[in-house]
Amino acid sequence: MSIAVAFQDLTLGYNRLAAVRGLRAEIAEGSLTAVFGPNGSGKSTLLKGVMGTLDPIGGQVAFGSLKREDIAYLPQQSDIDRTFPLSVVDLVATGLWREVGAFAGIDKDHRERIDTAIAAVGLTGLEQRPIGSLSGGQMQRTLFARLMLQDAQMFLLDEPFTAIDARTTADLIGIVQRWHGEGRTIVAVLHDQETVKAHFPETLLLARELVAHGPTEKVLTAENQFRARQMCEACDGPPHVCGRGGP
């Protein structure tokens, strides 16, 4: 099995304070991996490093069979301006960016795909709703519809199931598993251990440094998690730096 992305002694951080240190790990193509760890362990930072929005302080992110352009990224919700006057269909349509870019028009085929994606996340009928009026679950469904349109080889999902209802979570996990079934690579930052154990075969346990990486049942041991917590508490930066990495 070929490597999708490899972290080669990767150090990432803000203002010279490292949030991820000396990480060495490889994400296999077609794998479904959860990134797990205590608060401030650098999980979200790692995704930003992969997307290139954050340049490494040391080491590098090496792409194997994939290019960065093949990756679709779902940031935490707080990064989107929900007051911006966009409708559901507007936001979903931006998923076609790679195909239509900034200037080309949207044709009939595109429209059908947009409708299909909206239907797949169960938002049919809400196409014209402004995103500001959506519930947390509806918003996340909208973003998943956009991800579907991006038709990416690899998905990076940052806390995709946080603060949404159980029904939506189940639906979205279904979509993730469908992507997995289609052979796409998925890396998701998660904080709910049960979800990870139930649905993610691989886990990368992070506490700024790598704690363990491999099959979920071997990584999420009580011993590893205890070690992860200790490593994060012992971290040298001030508390707000710990908070920066996301929950």
Partner 1 sequence: MIWEALVQPFTEFGFMRRALLGCIAISIGATPVGVFLMLRRMSLTGDAMAHAILPGAAVGYLVAGLSLGAMTIGGLIAGMAVALLSGLVTRVTALREDASLAAFYLISLALGVLIVSTRGSNVDLMHVLFGTVLALNDAALILLCTIASLSVVILAVVFRLLVLECADPQFLQSVSGLSAITHFVFLSLVVMNLVGGFHALGTLMAVGIMILPAAAARFWFESIGGLILMAAAIAISSSLTGLLLSYHFSLPSGPAIILVAGAFYVLSLVIGPSGGVIARAYLRPKFEP
Chain residues that interact with partner 1, rule: CB under 8 A = 15, 51, 53, 71-73, 75, 79-81, 83-87, 90-91, 94, 97-98, 101-103, 130, 133-135, 138, 150
C-beta closer to partner 1: residue 97 or 226: 97
Q: 189: part of which helix (H) or strand (E)?
A: strand 185-189
DSSP one-letter code for 62 = E
E strands, 15-52, in order: 17-28, 32-36
- Kindly state the smallest distance separating residue 94's Cβ from partner 1, in Å: 6
Query: For residue 114, what is the enclosing H or E element?
Result: helix 108-120
Least gap, CB of 106 to partner 1 (angstroms): 10
CA–CA separation, 194 and 186 (whole Å): 18
Task: Report the nearest approach of partner 1 to the CB of residue 13 (Å).
Answer: 12
| CA neighbor of 5 nearest in space, from 73, 58, 56, 51 | 51
Distance CA 143, CA 138 (A): 9
Please state the closest distance from residue 228 (CB atom) to partner 1, in A. 27
Q: Measure Cα distances from 94 to 101, 103, 107, 216 in Å.
A: 9, 12, 14, 34
Nearer CB in complex with partner 1: 79/182: 79
Residues of the chain by 3-state class (helix, strand, coil), percent to 5: 40, 25, 30
Residue whose CB is less far from partner 1, 150 or 153? 150
C-beta of 135 vs 221, nearer to partner 1: 135
Q: How far is the CB of 97 from partner 1 (least distance, A)?
A: 4
Closest CB 81 distance from partner 1, rounded Å? 5
Nearest to 119 by CA among 99, 94, 137, 144: 144
Nearer to partner 1, 105 or 239 (CB): 105
Q: Which of 145/205 has CB closer to partner 1?
A: 145
Are 87 and 142 in contact, with CB atoms under 8 Å apart? no
User: Whole-angstrom distance between the N-terminal and C-terminal Cα of the chain?
Assistant: 32
Closer to partner 1 at the Cβ: 7 or 155? Answer: 155
Shortest Cβ 46–partner 1 spacing (Å): 15
